[in-house]
Amino acid sequence: MIIELRALSKAYGLMPVLRKIDLDIERGEFVALLGSNGSGKSTLLRLLCGLTKPTAGSLKVGGWELPKEAAAVRAQMGLVSHKALLYENLTARENLLFFARVYGLSDIDARIQSGLDRVGLGKRGADLVRTYSRGMLQRLSIARALIHDPDILLLDEPYTGLDQDASRTLDDLLVQAHADGKTIFMVTHELDRAQRLAGRAVILSRGGIALDAAMNSIDYLPARYTEVTGMTSAR
């Protein structure tokens, strides 16, 4: 088991956000995390990244316990969100160089070139990031997240702002990352895409898990989503 949550709870002041979540994710799974705004999706992702502490319960990633072993957990995670988390006044290559040094990697030049080639930016590494399109930024974000060859890829609404071509490119990159053995945990409101890409759906509602099921057991995810949440959209 690569991710283990036991009775995980999070409250901000007197307001509970997550309520006694139990969740296991196997190594190599592709899991889509769904839910409306305010259901706790982003909070759960922040807990997994070690960016906030649980109010109660336990959280382990790769056998490491959060929050006390957060540095070890982050070393095996890559994060991609709708925000690029890149330095726009540096080139693509300089961005990857910065993160490679943060992780204390060796063979840096080879890693950077391999990362750029993997996302189709091999010939654009010397260009300033501020000249990139939204789709190129997201591709570079994938290269940044994978530069240290993490076991787990966390994605927070990665398709936000992407056109159809860029979305298809991101689809291909995620399919390849999954085929390479990465565990993928993706927050998204795109139910049809989640059903097509992921092998499992976890739906949060009112701070708890309303559904946890294999995708191949769900005939039509939007209808199932409406059934368990009472809402017609993952937003």
Examine residue 167 and state whether it is found in any structural domain, yes or no: no
96-123: average pLDDT: 95
Note whether residue 155 is domain-resident.
no
Rounded to the nearest 10 degrees, how much is the dihedral formed by the CA atoms of 116, 135, 41, 227? Answer: -130
Span 156-162, average pLDDT? 90
Q: DSSP alpha helices (H): ranges in the chain?
A: 41-49, 70-74, 92-102, 108-118, 134-146, 164-179, 191-197, 221-229
Q: What is the pLDDT of residue 161?
A: 86
pLDDT of residue 148: 95
Is residue 101 included in any domain, yes or no? Answer: yes
Closest CA to 143 of 183, 178, 111: 111
Separation CA 199–CA 215 (nearest Å) = 5
SS3 content of the chain, % helix, strand, coil (to 5): 35, 30, 35
Per residue in 3-61, pLDDT (tens digit) is: 999 999 999 998 999 999 999 999 999 999 999 988 999 999 999 988 899 999 999 99
Determine the structural domain holding residue 96 and report its residue range. Answer: 87-149
For residue range 181-196, what is the model confidence (pLDDT) as tens digits? 999 999 999 999 999 9
- Number of domain units in the chain: 1
pLDDT confidence bin for 232, thresholds 50/70/90:
confident
Tens-place pLDDT, residues 112-156:
999 999 999 999 999 999 999 999 999 999 999 999 999 999 999
Cα 50-132-31 angle, rounded to 5 deg: 40
If one counts every other C-beta atom within 10 angstroms of the C-beta of residue 107, the result is 9
Q: What's the chain's average pLDDT?
A: 94
Any domain includes 226: no
Question: Is 182 a member of any domain?
Answer: no
Q: Give tens-digit pLDDT for 171-226.
A: 999 999 999 999 999 999 999 999 999 999 999 999 999 999 999 999 999 999 99
- According to the model, what pLDDT value does residue 235 have? 58
Residue 212 belongs to some domain of the structure: no
Look at residue 11 and tell me if it is in a domain: no
Q: What is the dihedral of CA 80, 85, 91, 97, to 10 degrees?
A: -70
Find the angle CA(220)-CA(182)-CA(206) to the nearest 5 degrees.
Answer: 45
Residue 108 lies in a domain: yes
